[in-house]
C-alpha cells in the first residue's frame, strides 16, 4: 500500500478512528490494533511475505528471552548469531542470491571454465532491508545489555511491523521505539496537527517534486546515448532531486503518520544538499542507516580508535557495505566506494567532524566560502548519483564520457522540454523553502506560523492543490526496491 494512494487515504482515517475512539483506553488493544493494521498494510502488497515478518519477529523475540535467561558467554554468542544468520540469511537469499550466482559463474568463465546454473525468479519482499536491520538492532542491543528484553510479544510485534516506517524506514532502534509501546498514549492535538503538516510536506516532495523529476530523469537515463552532454547533466540533476524528494518525502510521511498515533520516530534527513563536505552530507542523508552502520559495524570493527590504516579500512568497509545494502548491482558498490574516496581526505586531515552546525545559522544568505563548499559537495554528490541510477557499470561510464564531451556546451534539449520548465521552477521553489526552513526538523515545521491566518492557510491549500494537480499517476517509492 503506497502512502500516495487512495487506498492509504481510506486506510489511515479508519485506523486513526479505531485507535483513538475504540481502543484508546486499553494499551494492549491499541498495540494489537497496530499489529493488525500493519500486517494488513503490508499484506496489501503481497500477503505471502507476511510469514517472513512473523518468523523474524518470533526469532528475535525468542533470542531476546533466551539472552535474558543466559549468562554463559558462549551460549549468549550462539543466540546472537542465530538472530544474525536467520535475518541476514533471508535478506541474502531474497536480495543477493542471483547476484552472487551470476558473478560466481562469470568468475569461472573468465578462467575458461563453464558452469551451468539457473538463476531463480525471486521476488524481493518490500522493506526487507529495513525491518531486518530493525530487528537485528534489538538482538544486538539486548546482547550488549543496552536494552532489557521484552516479554510483551504484542508490543514487540508492533515494534517490528509498525506500518508508518515498515517498508522504507526510518530504521528505528529498539531503544527508541520499543519503549513507546509500553507507555499509555494520550491524544495530543498539537502533535497531530504537526504530524499532518509534515505529511503534507512529504506528499509535496514525493508527488510534485520527485514524481515529476522522475519522468525526465527516466527519459534521459534510458536513452542517454541520444542526448548531448548538457542534457545528460540535466538528467542527473533531475534524478538528484527525484531521489531526495522521494526518500525524504517518504520519511516525512512516515514520521508525521507516527505522530498522529502518539509516536516519535527518529529524523532521517536534515537538508543534506546544504552540506559543506561529504562527512556532513552523510550525517544528514538517510541518518537512520548511516548511524546504524556506524554503531553496529564501524565501531565494532574498531572505528577510529586504531591507526590510520584501520580508519581507512573501516571507512571503505562501511561505505561499500552501505552501497551493497542498496542493491545487488556493482553500480551500488562503486557508488559506495566513490563516497569513501570523497570521505578520505577529510579523514586523513581529521576534518571529518568540522561542520556540525547548521550552515549560515541565523543568516539568510551564506558566505562565499560556505556557498563554494556547498556547491562542491553538491557536485560530488551529483556525480556519484550517476552510478546509483545507471543500469550497469558500462552504462555509467558511457553516461559520464558523453557528459564530458564538446556537447556539454550546447543548450539542453529533449522531448517535453517545454513542460519540464514547470518542474524546474517548482524544484527551485522547493529548494528555497527548504533553505528558509533548514533550521527546523522539516522545512515547513514553522514556515508561515507567524503569518496572518489567511496567508498561512493559502500556502497550505496551494500545496494541496499542487499535490492533487500532479497526483494523477501513483508512483512507487524508489526505496521500496531496496
Binned at pLDDT 50, 70 and 90, residue 121 comes out as low
Average pLDDT over residues 187-207: 94
Evaluate if residue 106 carries a pLDDT over 90.
Answer: no
Q: Is the pTM of this model over 0.75?
A: yes
pLDDT in tens, 214-272: 999 999 999 999 999 999 999 999 999 999 999 999 999 999 999 999 999 999 999 99
Binned at pLDDT 50, 70 and 90, residue 101 comes out as low
Residues 223, 286, 326, 398: which is the catalytic one? Answer: 326
Binned at pLDDT 50, 70 and 90, residue 171 comes out as very high
pLDDT in tens, 42-61: 988 888 889 889 999 999 99
Evaluate if residue 110 carries a pLDDT over 60.
Answer: no
Evaluate if residue 329 carries a pLDDT over 90.
Answer: no
Q: What is the pLDDT of residue 327?
A: 82
pLDDT in tens, 3-23: 888 889 999 999 999 999 988
Residue 395 among the catalytic residues: no
Contacts of 359 (CB under 8 A, 6+ apart): 274, 275, 276, 366, 370, 374, 438
Evaluate if residue 114 carries a pLDDT over 70.
Answer: no
Q: Which residue has the higher pLDDT, 305 or 237?
A: 237
Percent above pLDDT 90 for the chain:
66
Evaluate if residue 400 carries a pLDDT over 90.
Answer: yes
pLDDT in tens, 123-168: 667 788 888 999 999 999 999 999 999 999 999 999 999 999 988 8
- Mean pLDDT lowest for which of 116-120, 142-146, 295-299? 116-120
Average pLDDT over residues 331-351: 93
Binned at pLDDT 50, 70 and 90, residue 92 comes out as confident
Binned at pLDDT 50, 70 and 90, residue 94 comes out as confident
pLDDT in tens, 278-290: 999 999 999 999 9
Q: What is the pLDDT of residue 399?
A: 95
Evaluate if residue 190 carries a pLDDT over 70.
Answer: yes
- The torsion angles phi and psi of 315, rounded to 5 degrees, stand at -65, -45
Contacts of 27 (CB under 8 A, 6+ apart): 182, 183, 184, 185
The rounded mean pLDDT for the chain is 89
Evaluate if residue 103 carries a pLDDT over 60.
Answer: no
Evaluate if residue 99 carries a pLDDT over 80.
Answer: no
Amino acid at each position: 500500500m503506497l502512502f500516495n494512494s487512495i487506498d492509504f487515504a481510506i486506510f489511515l482515517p479508519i485506523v486513526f478512528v479505531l485507535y483513538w475512539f475504540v481502543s484508546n483506553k486499553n494499551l494492549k488493544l491499541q498495540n494489537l490494533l497496530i499489529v493488525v493494521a500493519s500486517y494488513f498494510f503490508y499484506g496489501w502488497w503481497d500477503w505471502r511475505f507476511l510469514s517472513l515478518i512473523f518468523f523474524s519477529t518470533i526469532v528475535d523475540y525468542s533470542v531476546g528471552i533466551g539472552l535474558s535467561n543466559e549468562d554463559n558467554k558462549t551460549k549468549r554468542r550462539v543466540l546472537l548469531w542465530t538472530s544474525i544468520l536467520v535475518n541476514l540469511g533471508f535478506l541474502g537469499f531474497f536480495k543477493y542470491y542471483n547476484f552472487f550466482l551470476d558473478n560466481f559463474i562469470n568468475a569461472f568463465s573468465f578462467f575458461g571454465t563453464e558452469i551451468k546454473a539457473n538463476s531463480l525468479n525471486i521476488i524481493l519482499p518490500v522493506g526487507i532491508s529495513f525491518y531486518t536491520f530493525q530487528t537485528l538492532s534489538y538482538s544486538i542491543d539486548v546482547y550488549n545489555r543496552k536494552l532489557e528484553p521484552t516479554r510483551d510479544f504484542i508490543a514487540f510485534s508492533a515494534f517490528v511491523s509498525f506500518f508508518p516506517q515498515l517498508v522504507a524506514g526510518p530504521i528505528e532502534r529498539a531503544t527508541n521505539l520499543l519503549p513507546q509501546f509500553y507507555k499509555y498514549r494520550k491524544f495530543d492535538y498539537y502533535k497531530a496537527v504537526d504530524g499532518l503538516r509534515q505529511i503534507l510536506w512529504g506528499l509535496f516532495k514525493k508527488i510534485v517534486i520527485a514524481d515529476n523529476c522522475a519522468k525526465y530523469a527516466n527519459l534521459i537515463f534510458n536513452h542517454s546515448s541520444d542526448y548531448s552532454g548538457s542534457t545528460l547533466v540535466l538528467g542527473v540533476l533531475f534524478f538528484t532531486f527525484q531521489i531526495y524528494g522521494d526518500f525524504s518525502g517518504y520519511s516525512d510521511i512516515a514520521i508525521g503518520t507516527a505522530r498522529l498515533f502518539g509516536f516519535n520516530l527518529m529524523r532521517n534527513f536534515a537538508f543534506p544538499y546544504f552540506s559543506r563536505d561529504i562527512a556532513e552530507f552523510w550525517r544528514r542523508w538517510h541518518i537512520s542507516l548511516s548511524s546504524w552502520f556506524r554503531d553496529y559495524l564501524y565501531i565494532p570493527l574498531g572505528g577510529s580508535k586504531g591507526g590510520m590504516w584501520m580508519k581507512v579500512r573501516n571507512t571503505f568497509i562501511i561505505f561499500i557495505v552501505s552501497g551493497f545494502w542498496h542493491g545487488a548491482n556493482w553500480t551500488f558498490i562503486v557508488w559506495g566506494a566513490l563516497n569513501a574516496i570523497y570521505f578520505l581526505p577529510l579523514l586523513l586531515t581529521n576534518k571529518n567532524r568540522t561542520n556540525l552546525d547548521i550552515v549560515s545559522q541565523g543568516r539568510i544568505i551564506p558566505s562565499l566560502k560556505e556557498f563554494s563548499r556547498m556547491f562542491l559537495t553538491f557536485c560530488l554528490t551529483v556525480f556519484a548519483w550517476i552510478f546509483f541510477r545507471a543500469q550497469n557499470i558500462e552504462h555509467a561510464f558511457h553516461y559520464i564520457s558523453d557528459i564530458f564531451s564538446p556537447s556539454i556546451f550546447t543548450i539542453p534539449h529533449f522531448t517535453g522540454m517545454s513542460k519540464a520548465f514547470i518542474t524546474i521552477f517548482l524544484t527551485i521553489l522547493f529548494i528555497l523553502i527548504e533553505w528558509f526552513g533548514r533550521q527546523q526538523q522539516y522545512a515547513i515545521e514553522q514556515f508561515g506560523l507567524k503569518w496572518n491566518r489567511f496567508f498561512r492557510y493559502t500556502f497550505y491549500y496551494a500545496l494541496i492543490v499542487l499535490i492533487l494537480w500532479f497526483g494523477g499517476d501513483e508512483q512507487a517509492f524508489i526505496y521500496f526496491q531496496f
